[in-house]
Structure 1
Amino acid sequence: MPATLVGLDSLTARLPELREQYRAAQPFPHIVLDGVLVPEAFTRAAAEFPPIGDAFWKGYLHVNETKYGNTQPDTWGETLAAVAKEFVSPDFVAFLEELTGISDLLPDWSMDGGGLHQTLRGGHLNIHADFTTHHINENWSRRVNILLYLNDEWHEEWGGQLELWDTAMTAAQAKVQPAGNRMLVFTTSDDSFHGHPDALTCPEDVARRSMALYYFTEGARPVRKATNYRARPDETGLKRAAIALDRTAVDLYDRAKRKAGISDDQVSGVLERINKFRRPKG
């Protein structure tokens, strides 16, 4: 394994240029970085990505999303876990602070909402703004997302481009192809709307794969908001109603998760039983 998995030196050398691009980006501050991992590290990490039959995947299967997540780095391959550790290292966090202009960022090794994600053929993630505070450390406000795509190959016609929408939800102003070894970094806020809402058309044996890590700042009384799913302008009244109803259910679950200790594992188990025919074997 290479001594350094993330090409941080080259990224840091470009900081003046990258910082300007990041802060000028629309519809909210973001940047797309290609070749983030050194080539050997990317090859190893992509090869280690767990298949869908792995026991540690949790299903997030409801109206507004159909994806699987693994938030347990100790179950990942050696390279994947080492990459995640570099992303929470002081040097990488310092790079993010310089890039985004947000100081005192706190990485989250508990992977609250993050970790490995994969979406199968037919899966989607409706446009949304992310939950705003950490579920355990409730004085932590979510500020920055990084998404590293881990697909060996991805064809544009399969869909899955991450759409970045304006605050008024009138149009997608940017789209990010989930190409392998590409990272999207963006500032999270109440209205940093994003998602890939159309069903994937990739082959049955291909998944849209990524690693997500989130960074927080600590404050006295941050405002808790659950994931805010939104309908697109051309979506019908019935679909709008379904999105809104599911958004309410997600908010209730978010409250229960914080107050009553209901876990993702418990909910995932119920959803898995309901959606058992969605998930292929192997």
Structure 2
Amino acid sequence: MQTTVTTQLFDRDHWNCQLPSLSAEYQGASPYPHIVLENFLNPDVLETCVQEFDKLNEADGWINYVHYNENKAGLNKLDLLPPSIKRTINELNSPEFLEFLSTLTGIKGLMKDDLLEGGGIHQSKRGGYLNIHADFTVHPHHRQWQRRVNVLVYLNKDWEEEWGGKLELWDTNMQACEKKVLPVFNRCVIFNTDADSYHGHPEPTTCPEDQFRRSIALYYYTEEAQPFRRATHYMVRPGEEGKKFMVKLDNAMVAVYTEIKGMLGANDKIISKVLRFFSGKK
């Protein structure tokens, strides 16, 4: 009888034995609780994820988030994702990983999001960017779900520093960037998503035309009786006062869209076209 050997994806023993020190590092980090973990998942599985990414057709389910404050694409339909990417997402949504995440962050009762709202996989081409922002705080389809934690796993092999694309973590007063993280292969960034957890990669990437900044992005929630409700809120950096009007206008449109989406279940693909039109983006 032939047996099938399943490659371990997340080495629970390896990471769990480090949890006391990792948890202390995470919860004491500045500008807000976060951690950067290297060689996070089985590299062979992630290699396959990269190959699957290469074969994905942008016309099949991709949402183009192209407006004043961002230029990227996302795919969050689990049934459209290839096997290894789907397996990776399922592993990071497993009860065992949720337990690891709760211990790491000190946040009890963390829940996965099967809808992958705003998450799934992300990709940006040369010139892609995401202005500094704090994420939406409540799940649009689960009105008591407070967003608490982000997990980003990067899939960029041989990514060169001069191409940019660094994730920036800004202080809660938006006065200075306290940390920059290069989005290299199998690097994972985990951080709290509070109302002032400002982050992004605001400088357009300068990678070659045949290269992409790619990641798996998953968000986690707790159920609260009275969650703090706010849409994704973009900020200007010091010295960018000339951008305030457009950033404010874009924030207003995003806030209206978020409300409509929660009430009517509006489609991300449709509304992204509306934001793109009003931002004058092609």
Shared fold (TM-score, shorter chain, > 0.5):
yes
Q: Given the alignment of the two structures, is residue 24 of structure 1 paired with residue 35 of structure 2, yes or no? A: no
Q: Given the alignment of the two structures, is residue 168 of structure 1 paired with residue 170 of structure 2, yes or no? A: no
Match of 2:217 in 1: 212
Match of 2:38 in 1: 34
Match of 1:118 in 2: 123
Q: Structure 2: any 5+ residue segments left out of the alignment?
A: none
Q: Given the alignment of the two structures, is residue 265 of structure 1 paired with residue 269 of structure 2, yes or no? A: yes
* 1:271–1:133 Cα change, 3 Å: closer
C-alpha deviations, 1:29-75, integer Å up to 9, x for none? 00001111112111111111154634221001100001100001211
TM-score when scaled to structure 2?
Answer: 0.93
Q: Given the alignment of the two structures, is residue 141 of structure 1 paired with residue 146 of structure 2, yes or no? A: yes
Percent same amino acid at aligned positions? 45
Write the distance in 2 (CA, Å) between the matches of 1:240 and 1:268. Answer: 21
When structure 1 is superposed on structure 2, of 263-272 and 109-118 the one drifting more is 263-272
How far off is 1:169 after superposition? 0.2
The match for 2:195 among 190, 194, 197 is: 190
C-alpha deviations, 1:219-239, integer Å up to 9, x for none? 1121210001000001132x1
Write the distance in 2 (CA, Å) between the matches of 1:39 and 1:60. Answer: 29
C-alpha deviations, 1:91-148, integer Å up to 9, x for none? 0000000000000000111101110001111111000000000011110000010000
When structure 1 is superposed on structure 2, of 252-261 and 29-38 the one drifting more is 252-261
Write the distance in 1 (CA, Å) between the matches of 2:246 and 2:217. Answer: 27
CA-atom RMSD, angstroms? 1.9
TM-score when scaled to structure 1?
Answer: 0.93
> AA paired with 1:244?
K
C-alpha deviations, 1:202-235, integer Å up to 9, x for none? 1111110001001100011212100010000011
Write the distance in 2 (CA, Å) between the matches of 1:20 and 1:8. Answer: 18
> AA paired with 2:20?
P
How far off is 1:274 after superposition? 8.8
Write the distance in 2 (CA, Å) between the matches of 1:9 and 1:226. Answer: 37
Write the distance in 2 (CA, Å) between the matches of 1:179 and 1:105. Answer: 27
Write the distance in 2 (CA, Å) between the matches of 1:45 and 1:10. Answer: 22
Write the distance in 1 (CA, Å) between the matches of 2:107 and 2:231. Answer: 22
Aligned 8 A contact 1:162 1:175 in 2:
yes
Write the distance in 2 (CA, Å) between the matches of 1:52 and 1:88. Answer: 25
SS of residue matched to 1:107: coil
The match for 1:73 among 78, 81, 88 is: 78
C-alpha deviations, 1:167-209, integer Å up to 9, x for none? 1100000111101011100011000000000111011111100
Write the distance in 1 (CA, Å) between the matches of 2:198 and 2:88. Answer: 27
Write the distance in 2 (CA, Å) between the matches of 1:133 and 1:141. Answer: 5
Aligned 8 A contact 1:160 1:208 in 2:
yes
Aligned 8 A contact 2:68 2:276 in 1:
no
Aligned 8 A contact 1:59 1:272 in 2:
no
* 1:53–1:224 Cα change, 3 Å: same
* 1:264–1:204 Cα change, 3 Å: same
The match for 1:4 among 3, 8, 29 is: 8
Write the distance in 1 (CA, Å) between the matches of 2:51 and 2:238. Answer: 39
SS of residue matched to 1:80: helix
When structure 1 is superposed on structure 2, of 39-48 and 173-182 the one drifting more is 39-48
Write the distance in 1 (CA, Å) between the matches of 2:179 and 2:101. Answer: 21
